A and B are shown apart, each in its own frame.
Chain A
Amino acid sequence: MTNSNDAAILKDLSDAVINTDKTLLETTIKNGLDAGIEPLEMIENGLSRGMQEVGMEFEMGRRFLPQLMMSANLMTDAVKELQEYMGNEKADKIGTIVLGVVEGDVHDIGKNIVKIFLSVNGFEVIDLGRDVLITTFITKAKEVNADIIATSALMTSTMVAQKSLEEMLKEQGLKNKYRTLIGGAPCTEHWAEKIGADAYAEDAASAYGKALELMNK
């Protein structure tokens, strides 16, 4: 059970990520280790909660991309530091995701935000950029032994590439090897079901949750 002192330390960790306060973060990590709080708990119930709050504020238009990235950088550094104290329980990466915007589509703002959310929460993200051929997604997924192929499309005229990806994966017998996650303004859960994608994420914050679900399938 978490006592009040531990709870205060976890809240400080969360606040440090939210306010991008490096000094508070360094001090609180030291206090947490001195108090005997497990590093993994500090990550999950301190740093990650702060990042979740930052994500929610971003989705409401109250926090902006540079701030989001500063919080993400701070959290990444803190996780690295805490991992040194984790020994056998050291957190492995959750999985590998090949991410990109489909062929013919150059809208990549959302993709970049998804990348931040996934990376900071423990996924290794291979960012292929925008206007990416379907064959490139598959080739890269094979090369890095990816768990998930995540594609974004912002136009009705380009979202058909997500369907083509599903077809090509089936043709090559790879449908069960890689799970697929789709997103982008015109995409819907209905579209995901129709084309046979494994999951649909409505926004950047939910992309992380969906990716986690896919890893546990």
Chain B
Amino acid sequence: MATTYHQRMGDARPVEMTKEEIIYDIDEGSKLAAEMGRIPELTDDEKDHLLDIFLIPDKMVSVSQENRVILSADVGGMGLFGNYGEYGGVGIPMDYTTANLVMERGFAADYHLVSNLNLMNKDLKPAATQLQQSLEDTLMRTISPVEPLIVPNLGNYYKPEGPYDNAGDLISNGEIEKGLAAYEDAMVAVEKDLLWSAQAVLDPIGTDGLNLDTTAAAGDGDFLATLKATEQIKKTTRLSAYIGMANEFVLGIHGGLEYNGERLAGQYPHEQVKSVAKAGADMFGCVVNIKTKKSTPWNLAKTVTLLKRCVEDADIPVHVNMGMGVGGIPMVEIPPIDAVTRCVKATVEMTGVDGI
């Protein structure tokens, strides 16, 4: 009977795989990534390295000393005090500032991403002073940099939440021109509000920067509005800007939008990072999605292939988004540690990424 190794599927279910099956999945994952991004597959040596990581029998693995990278904590300490939110959490009664202190002093987070609890930029206005208060508390007590997290989310500007007709509804109903017009109108509002948040809310309170998270969730217009806003934020404030993505490629809701002479729709991480750098951002958050029906070796090979090329082409630091459903990690609220640590080890050791 062939020796098998404990692995995970993309939905976190355990699976026993032979060495040959792992090799096959690594090959296939890397091959698809190469086809999607029109980039090279991993080399044989790199595939061997990845295989070695999956053959380690230990439950947890780690990067070597010389490969340590910066660790940020997405949505800050919300995972500690939160319980009902989208990101789950353990519901320990504590305030936001205390949670951030625990993240810094207990969990060694290198920098923090504090947010209004809803995270959405459009919804920041009624919560602006509350966020400023939380930020001031955190800034006064922590040592590590604090970068508030804001999601541009153009979709939040559609009726009934916002004033614009839903471009996706219009286009899928065949009203393409009307849909594109509504989309372009919403882009202007997103850009304006992002600039307001930076200039009126975050810069005055003295944060170290801002994290524009889940960018392009609503497609290429969401991305373009964020890039244009970032240009202005960098010119008019002293904030550093981190742009993290929502998806491995930019969804083309419009399809005709360009930035710096390049079409945004369909851009993959190695192309996205160039657009982000051109806008003046200081860091890029790379996202690679997983397939829940594929194994972690397959998903991680795909992630490493796309991420490696992104880091090679980047002129600014790149952090990889690692969490449920991205970065090779299974899609489950509390991802299993065996899969998470293998994803961390592979992305750090094989791609030269600057942080997680």
Report which A residues bind B (CB closer than 8 A). Answer: 60-67, 69-70, 73, 106-109, 112-113, 115-116, 129, 155-157, 185-186, 188-191, 202
Contact = CB atoms under 8 A, between A and B. Distances in A.
B253 A64 contact: yes
A202 B299 CA distance: 15
B53 interface: no
Q: Give the dominant DSSP class at B's interface.
A: loop
Contacts of A191: 11
Contacts of B248: 61
Interface string B47-85: 000000000000000000000000000000000000011
Interface residues of B, number: 46
11 contacts: A60-B36, A60-B249, A61-B36, A61-B252, A64-B251, A65-B171, A65-B219, A66-B252, A109-B155, A109-B218, A109-B219
B254 A66 contact: yes
Nearest to A60: B36
A203 to B, nearest CB: 9
B293 interface: yes
Interface string B152-179: 0001100001000010110110101001
B274 interface: no
Contacts of A108: 155, 166, 168-169
Contacts of B180: 66
A116 B169 CA distance: 11
A202 B179 CA distance: 26
Contact of A202 (B13, B156, B292): B292
Nearest to B267: A61
A115 B172 CA distance: 8
A156 B255 contact: no
Given A189-B11, A189-B293, A64 B161 contact: no
A65 B331 contact: no
Contacts of A70: 176
Nearest to B252: A64
Contact of A73 (B84, B174, B249, B325): B174
B253 A109 contact: yes
B325 A186 contact: yes
Interface string B24-60: 0000000000011000000000000000000000000
B11 to A, nearest CB: 4
Considering the complex of A and B, which 8 residue pairs feature the smallest CB-CB distances, nearest first?
A64-B252, A64-B255, A61-B249, A188-B11, A112-B172, A61-B266, A112-B168, A188-B292
Contacts of A113: 172
B168 A65 contact: yes
A156 B87 CA distance: 7
A129 B253 CA distance: 17
B172 A69 contact: yes
A208 to B, nearest CB: 15
Contacts of B332: 188
Contacts of B161: 106
B155 A64 contact: no
Nearest to B166: A108
B174 A62 contact: no
B150 to A, nearest CB: 18
Given A157-B86, A186-B324, A190-B13, 9 more contacts: A60-B35, A60-B249, A65-B254, A66-B180, A66-B255, A69-B174, A108-B155, A185-B331, A188-B10
